[in-house]
């Protein structure tokens, strides 16, 4: 990674003292790591002053590590700032580790023992270390029994099962020989550094500009940091050490989560950047400003404390902040200044129902849909297009243009007036949305009766999980109250392949509106009138989200437009991750017509089952990144009708049959196994690294070109 020093360089945070023992001038002095399996990780993190060795020039990689030494490392990673007022009985203020223990306690990373002790000199066990690391990095397990893969899983303490499972799911914990986890055994110094190295690729601990790509996760733990022209394959942590300072993301893509634990009102600036997965705001005092500027795409923000979300000069066709989920539980205010597609308020399970979240929608802001599933007070004069209220104790200062109260017996206070479900005048065309609730002179475009067209028939649901793979999908249909309309289709996003189409306009006559497969999938589709559910699931993954604005035209042009997403559920496979590019970097050379899929370094040992259950399905997904050079959009996906060969069909003409990438999976699997017998691919327990070296050839039926596909 290239580093460019900025004009402002802060003094080194937390004087670099004793982490594992006595500070050494250089890791080069270590005399006992050359034969260590963790040599590379030890030297890497020693050079970054995260860890140190002993005064005699050794590192002692196979020694155990004390609880005090361990929390010192965690403090260096995140640069925790605040200190706890709670003191452990066996930690004296004069102890070298007292400051570290106090900081991790305040960060809620450690709890100590029931008797009020911390036992700093005890060696930390493997399950204790896993619990602390998982908590610090905010890992959550989708399958709490993932740790059952270890033969000694019954020995794992109850408190450690979820964090251990979370780290197993991410490929961080592999266990010891014999498929054991050894939860109660002492973790070694080498194992600790190896785990840290598997989670984060680099760390920004100096106030300067950082550029270049990051193959794993990245931690920013000091203020006045600029990330520029960077792609981060894993998570980005804006850590506690940023304090109330500033961090800027300029032309940055984060393919994982973005966790905001630091930063003040003076700002986390997100400029011309794309944050693919959720932004999680966990800053303890709730005072942090996130500013989206220019060409930004931030599909989801989860707020667990408080925050200000602000948009400025968002580029045409870009979304800025889209969906905001508020799950606070703290007496903090969420300030919204921009255009937000959806704002949901959810009650944390550990919060009293009498607690109310506080939102301020500032002047000029727009919330297209407010979902109040928990008590909330919405202040300010920002515009709310639709409010859906499902909880008591909801107060909104400015009347929304549409109001829905979903349950009998619930009341809400709107502009100081108490209303219930029966007091909302129905407009007769919202399909159960309950009417306007706004100025009766204003008319609104409404959408109701959303249907899928399956096998030529209307199906009154958007949940297609039970539909057979052989069923044919040909479009989406809905009813509107205007006879002339125009749909500005802003995006068709998929869980697996990202955005398929965007920014297209479609005019309709009549109150029945039909969106065809061609309109939804665009140049990805090759112009058919329908598609099998199997093909649709292969292309889209678990779900499709259609976003657009329907406005009246002609004599209905005075109607206020309707803006809302339609989400189609295709599969229950919730464990599938969003994109193959979370695991591989795709590079296409148009001169040689070669697609190279490079397994990311931190994903080499990750089991393929976290993405797909079968290796042949992953290879099929890789083939989908071969571009269709016959279209006006060279980057469009080409899942449709490629022939796959094990050898170049221009060079090998015998015993080299073509395989249809969607239907000949069983034969293809057997042939692929035969071509690479030394790999012993199990297709169930293989890792992404096991796929390296596979070479295939693809022939597209629509242009006749031969494309080489190489996994490395």
Ranges of beta strands (E only) in 170-296 are 200-204, 209-211, 217-220, 225-232, 236-238, 247-254, 258-260, 268-271, 274-275, 279-281, 289-293
Taken in order 127, 130, 135, 139, is the CA torsion positive or negative? negative
- Residue-wise pLDDT tens digits, 610-653: 555 455 567 767 776 776 554 443 333 444 446 788 898 888 87
At 225 the pLDDT is 96
State the pLDDT confidence band at 659, using cuts at 50, 70 and 90.
confident
Cα–Cα distance list, 153 to 38, 94, 128, 146 (Å): 25, 40, 15, 10
Q: What is the pLDDT of residue 610?
A: 59
DSSP-assigned letters across all residues of 540-609: HTTEEEEEEEEEE-GGGTTSBPEEEEEEEE----TTS-S-GGGTEEEEEETTTTEEEEEEPGGGTTSBGG
Tell me which of 81-85, 256-260, 270-274, 447-451 is least confident: 447-451
How many Å apart are CA 707 and CA 591, to the nearest integer?
11
CA 582 distance to own-chain centroid? 10
Hey, where are the domains in the chain? Answer: 6-198, 201-423, 447-569, 580-711
* Region for residue 453 given its phi and psi (left: phi exceeds 0; alpha: psi -120 to 50; beta: otherwise): beta
Q: DSSP per residue over 304-351, as a string? A: SS-EEEEEESPPTT--EEEEEEE---SS-EEEEESEESEEEE---TTS
- E strand segments, 193-242: 200-204, 209-211, 217-220, 225-232, 236-238
Judge whether 596 and 712 are in contact, CB under 8 Å: yes
**pLDDT by residue (tens digit) across 581-602?**
778 888 888 888 898 989 888 7
For residue range 482-505, list pLDDT tens digits in order: 999 999 888 787 766 666 665 678
Distances (CA, A) of 273 to 236, 310, 521: 13, 15, 25
What are the backbone angles phi and psi of residue 270, rounded to the nearest 5°?
Answer: -115, 100
| Residue 343: pLDDT over 80 | yes
For residues 689 and 599, the answer to whether their CB atoms sit within 8 Å is yes
> Residue 504: CB partners within 8 Å, gap ≥ 6?
489, 519, 522
Q: What's the rounded Cα separation, in Å, for the pair 669 and 650? A: 22
**Residue 30 is encoded by which pair of tokens?**
């270590």
- Closest C-alpha among 384, 476, 480, 389 to residue 431: 480
428 DSSP 8-state letter: S
In this prediction, residue 296 has a pLDDT band, given cuts at 50, 70 and 90, of: very high
Q: Is the pLDDT of residue 431 over 80?
A: no
Task: State residue 622's pLDDT score.
Answer: 77
Strand partners, 595: 588, 709
For 51, 57, 559, 646, the CA distances from 17, given in Å and listed in that order, are 10, 16, 67, 57
Cα 449–451–455 angle (5° rounding)? 150
Mean pLDDT (the chain) is 82
pLDDT value for 17: 34
Model's pTM, two decimal places?
0.59
Dmax (CA) for the chain in angstroms is 87
Residue 71 CA to residue 83 CA, distance in Å, equals: 13
For residue range 152-162, list pLDDT tens digits in order.
999 999 999 99
- Which strand (E) or helix (H) includes residue 133? helix 126-137
pLDDT (0 to 100) of residue 501: 62
3-state class of 64 per DSSP? strand
- Count of other CB atoms within 10 angstroms of residue 555: 10
Query: Is-contact 6 224, C-beta < 8 A?
Result: yes
Q: How many CA within 13 A on the CB side of residue 170? A: 26
Which comes out higher in pLDDT, residue 535 or 297? 297
Could you give the dihedral angle defined by the CA atoms of residues 579, 585, 590 and 595, in that order, rounded to the nearest 10 degrees?
-80
Residues 712 and 598 sit within 8 Å (Cβ to Cβ): yes
Is a pLDDT exceeding 80 seen at residue 282?
A: yes
Of 377, 496, 10, which is closest to residue 223 (Cα–Cα)? 10
Q: Which CATH architecture has domain 447-569?
A: Sandwich (2.60)
Cα 478 to Cα 475, 514, 584: the distances in Å are 10, 7, 39
Which residue in this structure is represented by tokens 């940023």?
242
pLDDT reading at 14 higher than 50:
no
Could you read off the pLDDT of 503-560 as tens digits, one per residue? 678 899 998 999 988 888 765 555 578 888 877 877 777 788 888 888 999 999 988 8
| pLDDT above 70 (res 3) | no
Q: What pLDDT, in 10s, does the model give residues 94-140?
A: 999 999 999 999 998 898 899 999 999 999 999 999 999 999 999 99
């Amino acid at each position: 990674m290239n580093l460019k020093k900025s004009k402002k360089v802060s003094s080194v945070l937390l004087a670099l003292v004793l982490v594992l023992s006595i500070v050494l001038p250089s890791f080069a002095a270590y005399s006992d790591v050359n034969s260590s399996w963790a040599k590379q990780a030890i030297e890497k993190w020693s050079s970054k002053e995260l860890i140190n060795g002993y005064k005699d020039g050794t590192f002692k990689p196979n020694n155990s590590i004390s609880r005090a030494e361990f929390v010192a490392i965690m403090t260096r990673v995140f640069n925790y700032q605040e200190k706890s007022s709670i003191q452990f009985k066996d930690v004296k203020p004069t102890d070298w580790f007292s400051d570290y223990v106090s900081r991790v306690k305040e960060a809620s990373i450690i709890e100590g023992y029931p008797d009020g002790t911390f036992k700093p000199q005890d060696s930390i066990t493997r399950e204790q270390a896993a619990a602390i690391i998982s908590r610090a990095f905010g890992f959550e397990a989708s399958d709490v029994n993932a740790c059952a893969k270890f033969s000694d899983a019954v020995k794992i303490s109850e408190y450690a099962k979820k964090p251990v499972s979370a780290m197993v799911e991410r490929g961080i914990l592999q266990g010891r020989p014999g498929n054991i986890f050894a939860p109660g055994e002492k973790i070694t110094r080498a194992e600790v550094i190896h785990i840290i190295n598997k989670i984060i690729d680099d760390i920004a601990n100096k106030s300067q500009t950082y550029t270049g790509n990051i193959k794993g996760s990245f931690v920013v733990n000091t203020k006045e940091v600029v990330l520029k022209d960077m792609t981060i394959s894993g998570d980005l942590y804006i850590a506690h050490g940023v304090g109330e300072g500033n961090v800027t993301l300029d032309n940055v893509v984060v393919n994982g989560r973005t966790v905001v634990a630091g930063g003040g009102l003076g700002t986390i600036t997100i400029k011309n950047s794309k944050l693919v997965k959720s932004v999680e705001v966990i800053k303890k005092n709730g005072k942090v400003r996130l500013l989206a500027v220019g060409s930004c795409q931030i599909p989801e923000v989860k707020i667990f404390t408080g925050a200000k979300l602000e948009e400025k000069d968002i580029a045409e066709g870009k979304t800025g902040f889209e969906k905001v989920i508020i799950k606070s539980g703290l007496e903090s205010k969420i300030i919204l200044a921009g255009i937000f597609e959806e704002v949901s308020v959810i009650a944390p399970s550990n919060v009293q129902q009498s607690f109310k979240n506080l939102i301020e929608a500032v002047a000029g802001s727009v919330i297209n849909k407010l979902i109040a599933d928990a008590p909330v007070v919405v202040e300010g004069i920002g515009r709310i297009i639709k409010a859906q209220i499902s909880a008591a104790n909801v107060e909104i200062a400015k009347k929304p243009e549409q109001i829905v109260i979903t349950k009998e017996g619930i009341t809400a206070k709107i502009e100081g007036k108490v209303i219930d479900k029966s007091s909302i005048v129905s407009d007769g065309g919202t399909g159960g949305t309950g009417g306007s609730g706004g100025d009766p002179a204003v008319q609104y475009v409404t959408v109701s009766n959303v249907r899928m067209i399956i096998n030529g028939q209307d199906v009154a649901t958007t949940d297609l999980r039970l539909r057979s793979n052989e069923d044919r999908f040909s479009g989406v249909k809905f009813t509107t109250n205007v006879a002339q309309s125009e749909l500005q289709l802003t995006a068709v996003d998929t869980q697996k392949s990202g955005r398929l189409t965007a920014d297209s306009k479609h005019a309709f006559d009549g109150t029945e509106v039909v969106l065809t497969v061609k309109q939804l999938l665009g140049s990805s589709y090759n112009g058919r009138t329908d598609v099998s559910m199997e093909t649709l699931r292969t292309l889209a993954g678990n779900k499709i989200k259609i976003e657009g604005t329907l406005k009246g035209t002609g004599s209905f042009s005075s109607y206020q437009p309707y803006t809302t997403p339609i989400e189609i559920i295709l599969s229950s496979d919730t464990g599938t991750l969003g994109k193959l590019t979370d695991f591989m970097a795709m590079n296409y050379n148009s001169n040689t017509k070669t697609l190279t899929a490079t397994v990311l370094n931190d994903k080499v040992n990750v089991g393929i089952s976290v993405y797909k259950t079968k290796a042949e399905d992953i290879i099929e997904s890789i083939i989908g990144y071969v571009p269709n050079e016959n279209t006006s959009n060279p980057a469009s996906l080409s899942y449709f009708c490629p022939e796959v060969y094990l050898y170049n069909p221009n060079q090998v003409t015998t015993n080299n049959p073509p395989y249809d990438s969607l239907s000949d999976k069983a034969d293809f699997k057997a042939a692929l196994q035969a071509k690479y017998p030394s790999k012993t691919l199990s297709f169930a327990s293989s890792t992404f690294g096991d796929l390296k070296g596979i070479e295939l050839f693809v022939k597209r039926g629509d242009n006749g070109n031969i494309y080489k596909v190489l996994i490395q």
